[in-house]
Amino acid sequence: MEDPVLEPADFDTMRVGYGLHPRLDVADLQGDWLPLFAAWLDEAGRRGVREPNAMVLGTVGTDRRPSTRTVLCKGADEQGLTFFTTTSSRKGTQLAESGYASATFPWLVVERQVHVEGPCHPLDRADSLAYWRTRPRGSQVAAWASEQSQPAATVEELESLYAVAQERLADVDEVPMPDRWGGYRLRPDRVEFWQGGRDRFHDRVECLRREDGWTVRRLQP
């Protein structure tokens, strides 16, 4: 059997058109990124985007090799975006090394994306604990069972790890938060709003944090 080969023409068949929205106006940002982000997030959910709070988190460590994965944003305010994970995972290690991250919300169904960059640091333990207590018990047990990013020989090994953690915590009313688990806040110093346009002439509006507030400008597509 020959190895499959994808030619440029194969990708051309995947091409779609854009143009759901009127032009994005720089004035829509009103000197701040958060109101428009919240509006777009809400609209993405109403239009059927599954888990609109899912974001592609980019990190890089001392090896200078970028790494991305999808995580769930669990908060957005003037201070930035929050998410939670195993701090000893690959992304946690890279965040400890560099202190910076990027995040992209790919709402492709509604022809929009938001890209965020900035310093990213751990939350206080009290803030992480407050969110931990809202998690389903099964997710709490899974956090104890998994040494995230470490290799596992088989599916059976994973299932065994979960079963052991479940048994160990069976008589515990409130599952404690592992030391290796917690939250992070990505504090934006750059936010870009992207919106699909006809003929690939897309809208791109960039917000840059300055000492006296946010500067907003249009970028060429």
Joined tokens for residue 54: 């899912």
Task: Fill in the amino acid letter for 53.
Answer: N
Torsion from C-alpha of 28, 102, 70, 195, nearest 10 degrees: 30
**Active-site annotation holder among 168, 200, 217, 218:** 200
Q: Reply yes or no on whether 200 is catalytic.
A: yes
Residue 135, CA distances (Å) to 88, 92, 125, 132 in order:
19, 20, 15, 5
* CB-based contacts of 49, cutoff 8 Å, min separation 6: 107, 109, 110
Q: How far apart are CA 170 and CA 179, in angstroms?
A: 19
What is the set of active-site residues? 200
